[in-house]
């Protein structure tokens, strides 16, 4: 059913109103009628209400059809408007139609009005739909424009010849477009700019345009452009070409984001990184120099102390020398820990792990600390199970256990220290564990995490009760983790502590590398007796070191000593040596250069050269061996280890 037609009728004659209504009823038109007979009522009704149709008499005492038509045109131009009049005047009819009336009905022919109303209604409906669609379009265009206008990235549209067609406020801000009295923004005001002028570099512009023409778009291209004040700014642009159906380029849409701040931060970061790297290089250099400078004098201190201890009979003097030795060793341990930490932190530590039996390593640590524990009257025990094969690096595990045992002894005044090793099954497979337990001062539970941090100790500050660097456990933990193991602590204040290291066990015990660890064990006495028929060349420019090493060599075999690489070469040209001990940091030509020259002398290719050096930083060993030396021992060294090494080459 069609809805009721709401009609506004301007008519002063009640009979004419009745005539119309009669006609409507006859034609079964469903309608609502409102009648007015003057301009102000007409204006009020049309302004306040919604009508589907306006009918007006042409001439009334207080009003007329042409005025009504004007008002309709002004307020609601879409509503169909009919003049209904008694006068037949063609000119008037034409005038009314020209002025916008939809029909001109003469009362005499009132019978045709209903069909005319119906067709006018159809037209009106169509017009209304059109207008609604148009309004919706305008509304969505407005929404879209709002969205674009509120974006914080610049949006632009340019023609194929570079004319700037449209931009949003963010774009205007980005390029420094200032609106003032003389220059208001409108798409017209942009016509004076060419997009091509923004590019400082034509080749970049060509590159971008080519990419757009070829691929139809570019994405996140970071370039520098000029703003309107000719300042260079960094932007990231993404553009897309728009074509018509025939493939002709219509325009280019794009977004432009200001990335100057980010670029500045990046540049600052790069500079900061370079500075940090330079500082790190300086630190590494400093550490290398410090290491060298501290180790060199310790060769003499520790070496002579060891030698004197073996020779001195007087107990009091023996004790004094032992104190020198202990102090020196403590200094060396601290230095080793600092170097270990710097090696770990620089990431330069190569962890070479393989399946090995951990028992010989435990025994070696036990042997080393047995005498120290005994001196403190501590009961020191070791208990190991069988099949203790784990994926480990022997040197690292030795340091780990040495640190734990050293702490256990240091922090225990009476009672016992025990090393216990065994295997344990876990979700991750078989584990080998090594426990170091003591009956010492214990550690507060709140401190468990802290003690594994570098430089942290339970008692800190000048009133520290126990000495130490606070580095041992952090290095220990890092070594354990490098071997893919874990470390745990359990402790009770005043009762003692237990540190447990878990290492990945090796499922196939038969794979275990035959540990040559026992071979490194130090012989019971320092010297085995003098080798005859062999001669060593010692190249050492530090006088006290040369004297100390000579004192050792004297007990091993015949030797010559020189203090420069040049003299070493001369000696080798005229003598045959079984072994050359070469300091690396020599004045004049370096030990490495001297070693290379010696190896190239006739008959000297196979003479073993052992680098004897205080260069003990990360990578030094590998570098020196790669440069042509056959072996390496870092200064200061244990005399027993040194002698073992010499004997290895003399007897091979
Ligand atoms: P250092 O022993 O050189 O101070 P560590 O890193 O080896 O440094 O140890 C950190 C701290 O942990 C020590 O200062 C000590 O307070 C505590 N600690 C370590 N081992 C034990 C232990 N066995 N008994 C009691 N306290 C310990």
Task: Give the Å distance between the CA of 639 and the centre of ligand 1.
Answer: 29
Q: Out of 3.90.1150.10, 3.40.50.2300, 3.10.450.50, 3.30.565.10, which CATH number does the structure's domain 535-650 have?
A: 3.40.50.2300
Among 457, 467, 476, 492, say which to mutate for ligand 1: greatest number of ligand atoms within 8 Å of CB: 457
For the chain, residues with pLDDT lower than 50 are 1, 463, 516, 518-524
For the chain, the domains span: 5-132, 151-258, 267-342, 350-511, 535-650
Among 440, 451, 477, say which to mutate for ligand 1: greatest number of ligand atoms within 8 Å of CB: 451
Please tell me the pTM assigned to this model.
0.51
Which residue has its alpha carbon closest to ligand 1 atom 21? Answer: 407
Which residue has its alpha carbon closest to ligand 1 atom 14? Answer: 457
Question: How high is the pLDDT of residue 201?
Answer: 85
Q: Quick one: tokens of 159?
A: 């023609």
Which residue has its alpha carbon closest to ligand 1 atom 7? Answer: 472
The percent of residues in the chain predicted with pLDDT above 70, rounded, is 91
Q: For the domain made up of 350-511, give the CATH fold.
A: Heat Shock Protein 90 (3.30.565)
Is 472 near ligand 1, meaning CB less than 6 Å away?
yes
Report CA 354 to chain centroid distance, whole Å. 33
Task: Give the Å distance between the CA of 457 and the centre of ligand 1.
Answer: 6
Among 413, 468, 471, 475, say which to mutate for ligand 1: greatest number of ligand atoms within 8 Å of CB: 468
Of residues 61, 280, 251, the one with CA closest to residue 156: 251
Task: Give the Å distance between the CA of 407 and the centre of ligand 1.
Answer: 6
Task: Give the Å distance between the CA of 553 and the centre of ligand 1.
Answer: 39
Is 454 near ligand 1, meaning CB less than 6 Å away?
no
Is 411 near ligand 1, meaning CB less than 6 Å away?
yes
What is the chain's Cα-based Rg? 51
Tokens 């019971």 — which residue?
A: 524
Is 408 near ligand 1, meaning CB less than 6 Å away?
yes
Rounded to 5°, the CA angle 156-162-163 comes to 70
Task: Point out the ligand 1 atom lying closest to the alpha carbon of residue 452.
Answer: 6
Task: Give the Å distance between the CA of 456 and the centre of ligand 1.
Answer: 9
Contacts of residues 598-602 at CB distance under 8 Å and 24 or more positions apart, as own/partner, are 598/568, 598/569, 598/572, 599/628, 601/569, 601/572, 601/573
Residue 379 sits at φ, ψ, to 5 deg, of: -80, 125
- Rounded distance between C-alpha atoms, residue 106 and residue 87, angstroms: 7
Task: Point out the ligand 1 atom lying closest to the alpha carbon of residue 412.
Answer: 24
Fold match, 350-511 / 535-650: no
Is 562 near ligand 1, meaning CB less than 6 Å away?
no
Is 338 near ligand 1, meaning CB less than 6 Å away?
no
Tokens 């004040």 — which residue?
A: 229
Is 469 near ligand 1, meaning CB less than 6 Å away?
yes
Is 409 near ligand 1, meaning CB less than 6 Å away?
no
Question: How high is the pLDDT of residue 527?
Answer: 63
Q: Quick one: tokens of 345?
A: 């932190």
Task: Give the Å distance between the CA of 472 and the centre of ligand 1.
Answer: 8
User: Could you report the per-residue pLDDT of 379-390, keeping only the tens digit for each?
Assistant: 999 999 888 999
Question: Please, are residues 56 and 37 in contact by the beta-carbon 8 Å criterion?
Answer: no
- CATH 3.40.50.1110 is the classification of domain 5-132: no
Is 235 near ligand 1, meaning CB less than 6 Å away?
no
- Rounded distance between C-alpha atoms, residue 58 and residue 377, angstroms: 132
Question: How high is the pLDDT of residue 105?
Answer: 92
Question: Please, are residues 16 and 42 in contact by the beta-carbon 8 Å criterion?
Answer: no
Task: Give the Å distance between the CA of 468 and the centre of ligand 1.
Answer: 8
User: Could you report the per-residue pLDDT of 397-453, keeping only the tens digit for each?
Assistant: 988 999 999 999 999 999 999 999 999 998 888 899 999 999 999 999 998 988 888
Task: Point out the ligand 1 atom lying closest to the alpha carbon of residue 470.
Answer: 8
Give the DSSP per-residue string, 197-239: GG-S-HHHHHHHHHHHHHHSEEEEEEEEEE-TTS-EEEEEEEE
Question: How high is the pLDDT of residue 96?
Answer: 93
Q: Out of 3.40.630.30, 3.30.450.20, 2.60.120.10, 3.10.28.10, which CATH number does the structure's domain 151-258 have?
A: 3.30.450.20
Task: Point out the ligand 1 atom lying closest to the alpha carbon of residue 436.
Answer: 23
Q: Is the dihedral of CA 14, 16, 17, 21 positive or negative?
A: positive
Q: Quick one: tokens of 460?
A: 């800190």
Task: Give the Å distance between the CA of 162 and the centre of ligand 1.
Answer: 73
């Amino acid at each position: 059913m069609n809805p009721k037609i709401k009609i506004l009728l301007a008519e002063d004659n009640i009979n004419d109103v009745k005539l119309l209504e009669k006609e409507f009823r006859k034609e079964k038109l469903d309608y609502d009628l409102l009648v007015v007979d003057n301009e102000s009522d007409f204006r009020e009704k049309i302004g306040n209400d919604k009508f589907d149709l306006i009918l007006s008499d042409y001439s009334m005492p207080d009003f007329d059809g042409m005025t009504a038509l004007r008002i309709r045109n002004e307020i609601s131009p879409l509503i169909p408007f009919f003049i209904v009049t008694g006068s037949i005047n063609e000119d008037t009819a034409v005038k009314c139609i020209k002025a916008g009336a939809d029909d001109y009905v003469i009362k005499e022919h009132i019978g045709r009005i209903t069909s005319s109303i119906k067709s006018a209604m159809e037209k009106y409906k169509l017009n209304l739909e059109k207008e609604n669609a148009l309004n919706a379009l305008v509304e969505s265009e407005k929404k879209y424009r709002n969205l674009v206008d509120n974006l914080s990235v610049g949006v632009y549209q340019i023609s194929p010849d570079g004319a700037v067609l449209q931009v949003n406020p963010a774009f205007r801000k980005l390029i420094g477009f200032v609106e003032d009295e003389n220059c208001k923004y409108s798409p017209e005001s942009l016509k004076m700019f060419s997009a091509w002028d923004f590019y400082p570099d034509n080749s970049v512009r060509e590159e971008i345009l080519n990419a757009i023409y070829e691929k139809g778009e570019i994405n996140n291209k970071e370039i520098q452009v000029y703003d309107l004040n000719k300042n260079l700014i960094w932007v990231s642009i993404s553009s897309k070409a728009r074509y018509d159906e025939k493939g002709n380029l219509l325009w280019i849409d794009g977004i432009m984001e200001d990335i100057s701040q980010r670029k500045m931060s990046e540049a600052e970061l790069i500079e900061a990184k370079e500075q940090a790297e330079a500082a790190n290089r300086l630190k590494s250099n400093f550490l290398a120099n410090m290491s060298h400078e501290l180790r060199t004098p310790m060769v003499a201190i520790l070496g002579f102390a060891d030698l004197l201890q073996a020779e001195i009979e007087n107990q009091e003097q023996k004790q004094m020398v032992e104190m020198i030795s202990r102090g020196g060793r403590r200094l060396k341990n601290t230095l080793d820990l600092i170097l270990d930490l710097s090696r770990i932190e620089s990431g330069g530590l190569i962890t070479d792990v393989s399946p090995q039996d951990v028992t010989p390593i435990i025994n070696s640590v036990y042997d080393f600390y047995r005498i120290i524990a005994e001196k403190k009257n501590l009961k020191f025990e070791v208990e190991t199970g069988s099949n203790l094969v784990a994926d480990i690096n022997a040197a690292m595990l030795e340091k780990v256990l040495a640190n734990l045992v050293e702490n256990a002894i240091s922090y225990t005044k009476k009672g016992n220290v025990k090393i216990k090793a065994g295997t344990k099954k876990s979700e991750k497979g078989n584990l080998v564990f090594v426990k170091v337990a003591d009956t010492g001062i214990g550690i507060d539970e709140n401190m468990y995490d802290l003690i594994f941090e570098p430089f942290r100790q339970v008692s800190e500050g000048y009133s520290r009760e126990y000495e130490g660097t606070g580095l041992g456990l952090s290095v220990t933990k890092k070594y354990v983790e490098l071997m893919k193991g874990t470390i745990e602590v359990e402790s009770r204040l005043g009762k003692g502590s237990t540190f447990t290291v878990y290492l990945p066990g090796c499922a196939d015990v038969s794979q275990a590398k035959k540990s040559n660890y026992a071979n490194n064990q130090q012989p019971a006495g320092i010297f085995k007796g003098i080798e005859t028929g062999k001669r060593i060349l010692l190249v050492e420019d530090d006088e006290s070191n040369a004297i100390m090493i000579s004192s050792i060599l004297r007990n091993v075999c015949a030797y010559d000593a020189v203090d420069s690489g040049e003299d070493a070469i001369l000696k080798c040209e005229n003598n045959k040596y079984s072994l050359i001990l070469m300091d690396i940091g020599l004045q004049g030509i370096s030990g490495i250069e001297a070693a290379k020259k010696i190896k190239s002398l006739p008959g000297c290719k196979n003479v073993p050269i052992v680098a004897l050096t205080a260069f003990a930083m990360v990578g030094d060993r590998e570098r020196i061996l790669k440069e042509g030396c056959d072996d390496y021992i870092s200064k200061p060294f244990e005399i027993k280890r040194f002698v073992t090494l010499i004997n290895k080459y003399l007897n091979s």
